[in-house]
């Protein structure tokens, strides 16, 4: 009699080809291991001396960056548990624009410590409860660690408090120059009456190859890396602007036809009517007082001839986003019909000129008002990769304004906040009865990641620096909270610095959001006890074609 083996559990429940990973097979441990890998990869990029990663995406484009948001965007992550952590990190990027890597690395550290608790015999439910209690306590304690706040969003020195540390973490050594550019650009567009109406999209970045970073500058208005299509390249006086989101050309009909021409006169007369119609339309636009035309789509050669005849400046802007920004800066309405705009549909611009930056011709739209609706930072650099990385640092610096507008309070930076949280949450865990205190203590231990990484990436010994940092924070003296790690110190006795004196601050709302999102992600991953993967859609994969050449030839 043959031995009949039992079939796959739930074989009749799913389609053939599904996969189930249960807790008994170590699903929780495998999830933690996968999250630890992505966390480990991102962690070495934290801090001013953080290492860069060289990424090659699926299109073959090369990225050299230490920006976590760019790495996650270009990496094709497929593991479902890691995707949960990445989604929370992306949420941090969208909401506040910074501390993306903080969410990832703190989440990975919490999961790594949770694995040790599982080995000790704690259930994921007990760990989740401990983590949630500790997270709630940590957010409350952050309120007590505030040492400064931004008073006036029009003041340069006040804005530098938050912009400079953010730029410093990305472009160490060049933070003074880049911060000055960002502050200047932000001041141009910051609304005087209502700073809360500040829009991050109002600060643009244009990269022009050549020169050095010191040649970068800020323009109150917009810069387009192309020259006007028309012969007129410059308008120095206040001019009316018409924006067309349709081709500036003879409208072509959808039907097709064949025309038989017998002689040259018929050929001359064939397009005469259309030419006269186009001439009439361009003359109407000129008579309405328009001096500048912005076209979102193509410009016909015949139309360009008539536009040059009436000395109109014509700029083609293929990007719909830039077209929208032009409408905002000029106050124009984009038209989907070719014709003379109504007075309320026109915009007004003070200066339009074509200049040369390096060897590139650019068109500049300037407003001479005190507060512009858009400002542009023109970055110069030797390579595209270096300019891309500077652009990411500028984006983070501008986004940090958004977080302090939400809450102007500032926390001490340079690992000071984290070292204090380690002490306070550990003390809170010791007073908590039961097994939950193990989860709370491990949550406190996770915050040691930032001071430790700051030491490691700057070449310092964490085992010597961290005890000094902890001992410098006296429970009875709130003034000692301002001590952080000096990454440039060569002497062990001078390894700490005064964060207030050096202006190294963290945004309160940014840090609070990062801790909350990291805890949520970790609790979600720990609460998973089974992963069920359906069979991928689509037919069978195509068989691989044999390579040409001999069978034992090297690949």
Report, as ranges of residue numbers, the positions in the chain whose pLDDT lies below 70. Answer: 1-27, 249-257, 259, 266-274, 369-372, 474-481, 490-494, 531-555
Is residue 396 in some structural domain? no
Same domain, 364 and 437: no
> Which tokens is 513 given?
């959001």
Backbone angles phi, psi at 383, to 5 degrees: -130, 155
pLDDT computed for residue 1 by the predictor: 43
Same domain, 344 and 444: no
List 21's β-bridge partners, or say none.
531
State the residue for tokens 């905002």.
328
Same domain, 436 and 362: no
Same domain, 420 and 521: yes
We report the CATH number of the domain holding residue 238 as: 3.50.7.10
Q: Measured on CA atoms in the order 500, 506, 511, 513, is the torsion positive or negative?
A: positive
Is residue 164 in some structural domain? no
Is residue 87 in some structural domain? yes
Report the alpha-carbon distance of residue 107 to residue 515 in Å, rounded. 9
Same domain, 367 and 416: no
How much is the pTM? 0.74
Range of the domain at 241: 221-371
Is residue 552 in some structural domain? no
Contacts (Cβ under 8 Å, ≥6 apart) of 457: 44, 46, 47, 48, 49, 50, 51
Is residue 542 in some structural domain? no
Helix (H, G, I), strand (E, B) or coil at 15: coil
Rama region for 26: left / alpha / beta (φ>0; ψ in -120 to 50; rest): left
End-to-end CA distance of the chain: 50
DSSP 8-state secondary structure symbol assigned to residue 479: G
Same domain, 487 and 346: no
Report the alpha-carbon distance of residue 496 to residue 428 in Å, rounded. 26
Same domain, 286 and 339: yes
pLDDT computed for residue 371 by the predictor: 60
Report the alpha-carbon distance of residue 439 to residue 436 in Å, rounded. 5
The number of domains in the chain is: 2
Contact between 451 and 105 under an 8 Å Cβ cutoff? The reply is: no
Is residue 77 in some structural domain? yes
DSSP 8-state secondary structure symbol assigned to residue 432: S
Q: Measured on CA atoms in the order 232, 233, 237, 238, is the torsion positive or negative?
A: positive
Nearest to 152 by CA among 498, 410, 405: 405
Nearest to 454 by CA among 416, 397, 501: 416
Our measurement of the distance from residue 225's CA atom to the centroid of its chain's CA atoms, rounded to an integer in Å, reads 22
Same domain, 230 and 328: yes
Helices assigned H by DSSP within 227-360: 264-270, 272-287, 301-309, 320-330
DSSP 8-state secondary structure symbol assigned to residue 197: G
CB neighbourhood size of 99 (10 A): 28
Report the alpha-carbon distance of residue 448 to residue 444 in Å, rounded. 8
Report the alpha-carbon distance of residue 96 to residue 506 in Å, rounded. 12
Same domain, 133 and 226: no
Same domain, 60 and 131: yes
Strand ranges in 136-191 using DSSP code E only, listed in sequence order: 148-149
Nearest to 512 by CA among 153, 161, 200, 96: 96
Is residue 472 in some structural domain? yes
Report the alpha-carbon distance of residue 199 to residue 201 in Å, rounded. 5
Same domain, 430 and 346: no
Is residue 62 in some structural domain? yes
State the residue for tokens 């940014």.
510
Same domain, 228 and 104: no
We report the CATH number of the domain holding residue 476 as: 1.10.560.10
Contact between 350 and 240 under an 8 Å Cβ cutoff? The reply is: no
pLDDT computed for residue 316 by the predictor: 79
């Amino acid at each position: 009699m043959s031995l009949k083996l039992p079939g796959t559990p739930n074989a009749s429940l799913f389609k053939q080809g599904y996969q189930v990973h249960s807790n008994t097979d170590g699903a929780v441990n495998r999830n933690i291991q996968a999250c630890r890998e992505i966390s480990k990869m991102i962690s070495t990029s934290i801090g001013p001396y953080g290492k860069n990663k060289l990424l090659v995406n699926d299109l073959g484009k090369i990225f050299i960056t230490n920006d976590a948001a760019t790495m996650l965007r270009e990496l094709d992550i497929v593991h479902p548990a890691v995707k949960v952590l990445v989604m929370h990190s992306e949420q941090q990027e969208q909401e506040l624009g910074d501390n993306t890597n903080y969410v990832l690395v703190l989440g990975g550290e919490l999961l790594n410590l949770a694995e040790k608790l599982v080995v000790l015999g704690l259930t994921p439910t007990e760990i989740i409860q401990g983590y949630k209690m500790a997270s709630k306590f940590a957010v409350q304690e952050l309120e007590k660690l505030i040492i400064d706040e931004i008073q006036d969003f029009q003041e340069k020195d006040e804005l530098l408090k938050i912009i400079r540390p953010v730029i410093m973490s990305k472009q160490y050594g060049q933070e003074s120059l880049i911060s000055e550019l960002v502050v200047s650009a932000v001041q141009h567009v910051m609304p005087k009456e209502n700073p809360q109406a500040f829009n991050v999209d109002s600060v643009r970045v244009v990269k022009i190859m050549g020169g050095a970073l010191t040649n970068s500058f800020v323009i109150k208005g917009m810069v387009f890396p192309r020259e006007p299509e028309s012969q007129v390249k410059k308008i120095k006086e206040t001019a009316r602007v018409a924006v067309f989101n349709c081709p500036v050309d003879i409208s072509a009909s959808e039907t097709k036809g064949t025309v038989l021409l017998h002689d040259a006169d018929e050929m001359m007369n064939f397009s005469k009517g259309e030419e006269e119609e186009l001439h009439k339309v361009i003359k109407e636009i000129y008579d309405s007082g328009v001096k500048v035309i912005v076209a979102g789509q193509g410009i016909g050669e015949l139309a360009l001839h008539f536009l040059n005849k009436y000395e109109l400046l014509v700029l083609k802007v293929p990007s719909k986003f830039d077209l929208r920004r032009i409408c905002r800066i000029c106050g124009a309405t984009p038209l989907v019909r070719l014709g003379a705009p109504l007075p309320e549909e026109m915009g007004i611009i003070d200066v339009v000129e074509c200049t040369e930056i390096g060897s590139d011709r650019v068109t500049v739209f300037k407003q001479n008002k005190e507060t512009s609706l858009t400002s542009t930072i023109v970055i110069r650099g030797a390579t595209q990769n270096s300019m891309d990385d500077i652009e990411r640092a500028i984006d983070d610096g501008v986004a940090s304004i958004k977080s302090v507008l939400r809450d102007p309070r500032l926390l001490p930076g340079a690992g000071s906040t984290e070292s204090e949280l380690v002490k306070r949450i550990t003390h809170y865990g010791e007073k908590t009865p039961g097994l939950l205190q193990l989860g709370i203590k491990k949550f406190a231990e996770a915050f040691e990641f930032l001071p430790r990484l700051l030491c490691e990436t700057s070449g310092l010994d964490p085992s010597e620096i961290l005890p000094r940092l902890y001992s410098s924070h006296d429970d009875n003296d709130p003034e000692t909270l301002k001590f952080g790690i000096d990454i440039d110190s060569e002497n062990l006795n001078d390894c700490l610095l005064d964060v207030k004196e050096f202006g190294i601050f963290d945004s309160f709302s940014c840090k609070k959001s990062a801790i909350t999102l990291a805890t949520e992600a970790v609790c979600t991953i720990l609460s998973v006890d089974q992963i069920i993967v359906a069979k991928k859609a689509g037919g069978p994969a195509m068989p691989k074609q044999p390579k040409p050449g001999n069978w034992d030839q090297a690949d």
